[in-house]
Structure 1
Amino acid sequence: MSRVSVEVENHIARVTLTRGDKMNALDPAMFDGIIEAGEGLLDRTDVRAVVLAGEGEAFCAGLDVMSFGALASGDPKDILMPRSHGDSNRFQQVCMVWQKVPVPVIAALKGVCLGGGMQIALGADIRIAAPGTRLSILEMKWGLVPDMGGMAILPRLLRSDVLRKLIYTNDLIDAAQAEAWGLVTELADDPEAAALALAEQIAGKSPSAVRSAKALIGYAETHLADIEAVLLEESRAQAELIGKPHQMEVVMANMQKRAPVFKD
């Protein structure tokens, strides 16, 4: 049975974790489904934004511990150290694939967003949460550290002291506190509807400019110490956009006071 559904309509891909009866807990099939869904979007030129959500009452309750007994029975290095997906292992790819998807990804959070589920949400560009959502960087509960891509992203979002507190204690926090600390972008009573509305807004912008913006932001975030390189990349990205069909259509649409129409 598929653990993840993907529906594309009006240039928006709706990716839904479909193990709602288990609070979308991560078992091996769920890992495979998430990776397949994300990688399936990498070359989709018709997709302009992604909404990532969970079926039922929760976004994701984290790792289904009973499903991963093999990690304890063998040498973990044999499972964790190989780079099976570019710069990532299989477990990291469920988070990092959303960073690699070339269009904005918006995660709609509700119920709980714990452990591995938190790290999947971190892979999104934007996180919208229902006010009652509970979140945790949960790994310390099991004597572990975040290892599904979270440490590539969390230091960009959180102050060091807040990050350390959340990792050391695995405390549950509510969505309002998560928003105040930077884990959540904004709150909405219906996060999926809010995520879809935002995706629709983004899908109406220049597709090439939005893709370029995501790539440029990612480049800048990973080259913070090299201002010269960031400035050069900024200029290169802009030069690739100016005068091209999407940019010219935006200019004409603004002048004619109408919505732009882009060819796929």
Structure 2
Amino acid sequence: MTPSVQNFHDRVTITTQDHVAHVLLDRADKMNALDDAMFEAIIAAGHHLHSAKGVRCVVLSGAGRSFCAGLDLASMADADRWGEGNSLIDRTHGKANRPQQAAMVWRNLPMPVISAVHGVCFGGGLQVASGADIRFIAPDARLSVMEVKWGLVPDMAGYVLWRGNVRDDVLRELTYTHREFTGEEAVRFGFATHVSTDPLADAMALAKTIAGKSPTAVRGAKMLSNRTPDMDVEDVLMAESKAQHELMYSRNQVEAVRAGMEKRAPEFIDP
């Protein structure tokens, strides 16, 4: 299949092939730092994928030497972007503001997202990467919860995305001190899933594996993973039952069983 390529604000490129969409943060000369155009591009790319047909898994990576260096400090001088007329209190994207949406858009996609992190991953960049379901990271990557260094706090959904993954006292220490830590430490701390000497290659390999599974079942599993942490036991049990009821005897579920019994590759249809 010939890959399709789309560009968003000259900052982000999506290449889609064989049901996998590779999202590339493409501002390599600035280590993919987050300026106004980058925020717009990330969000636009995520919104595009939300309704994209045939995409079963997404890989998120950065061009050049780094994943994302965090906020482009020069952009803070833009009064129109950071002044009183642009309150972060305003909910511009459902429950989130614009910076938060740059991270939450990946968690809220119906299909799984895998981030591949190398080089520098600071501040807002760490929160964008954390929006993914699964994170591969280079052992020598440099990470930091950077915001306190600039007199700020993490505010791009980090406290939502790290909850349940990063131990509370570890997160407090790293936030208060903004000290750097490595990719290997990131896995131990809960910021990343796997250490990899080639994060992009391993992320793409896993994405292809996921893309070969029933897309309706995978989406149902992601929906449950997103919703159930805030539910009580009774509601979790009912959510499981409703999701299973919708899948049982559906076209893709029957095809998964038949393909397994016939020892052949399944032929799924996309929602």
Distance across 2 between alignment mates of 1:159 and 1:71: 37
SS in 2 for 1:113: strand
Matches within 5 A, 1:169-248: 169-223=177-231, 226-248=232-254
Structure 2 gaps of 5+ residues are 1-8
Query: What is the distance in 1 between the residues matched to 2:216 and 2:193?
Result: 24
Say which is worse superposed, 98-107 or 66-75, in terms of deviation. 66-75
Bigger CA drift: 23-32 or 154-163?
Answer: 154-163
How big is the shift at 1:187?
A: 1.0
**C-alpha deviation, 1:71, in angstroms:** 7.4
By how many angstroms is 1:73 displaced?
Answer: 6.4
Flag structure 1 segments of 5+ consecutive residues without an equivalent.
none
Tell me, in whole angstroms, the C-alpha distance in 1 between the residues paired with 2:146 and 2:164.
19
Shift of residue 152, structure 1, vs aligned partner: 1.1
Instruction: Tell me if the contact between 1:17 and 1:55 (Cα under 8 Å) persists in the aligned partners.
Output: yes
Whole-Å separation in 1 of the counterparts to 2:261 and 2:82: 65
CA contact (8 A) 1:71 1:79 kept: no
Q: Distance in 2 between matches of 1:73 and 1:218?
A: 31
Q: TM-score with structure 2 length normalisation?
A: 0.94
**Structure 1 residue 7 displacement after superposition:** 1.1
Q: C-alpha distance in 2, partners of 1:208/1:45?
A: 13
1:19-34 alignment to 2 at 5 Å? Answer: 19-34=27-42
Q: What is the DSSP-based 3-state SS (H/G/I as helix, E as strand, rest coil) of the residue aligned with 2:100?
A: helix
CA distance in 2, matches of 1:199, 1:88: 27
- Offset from partner CA, 1:140-183 (integer Å, 9 cap, x none): 11011100111111122111111111111111000111111111
Q: CA deviation at 1:130?
A: 1.1
Corresponding residue SS for 2:61: strand
CA distance in 2, matches of 1:28, 1:20: 16
Counterpart of 2:162, as a letter, is: L
Tell me the residue number matched to 1:142.
150
Which amino acid is 2:33 matched to?
A: A
Q: State the 4+ residue runs in structure 1 displaced beyond 3 angstroms.
A: none
Match of 2:88 in 1: 80
Secondary structure in 2 matching 1:79: coil
1:249 aligns with 2:255: yes
Q: CA deviation at 1:72?
A: 8.9
Cα offsets for 1:107-162 (capped at 9, x unmatched) = 00000110000000110001101111011111011011100111111122111111
Q: Distance in 2 between matches of 1:221 and 1:112?
A: 30
Using structure 1 for the length normalisation, give the TM-score: 0.96
Find the aligned partners of 1:261 and 1:193 in 2 and give their Cα distance.
25
Q: Report the aligned-residue RMSD.
A: 1.3
Take 1:29 and 1:216, find their aligned partners in 2: how far apart are those partners? 33
Of residues 137, 141, 159, the one that matches 1:151 is 159
Please state whether the residue corresponding to 2:50 is helix, strand or coil: coil
Report the number of matched residues.
Answer: 261
Distance (whole Å) between structure 2 residues aligned to residue 72 and residue 248 of structure 1: 52
Q: Is the 8 A contact 2:76 2:82 kept in 1?
A: no
Q: Hey, what's the Cα distance between the residues in 2 that align with 1:82 and 1:3?
A: 25
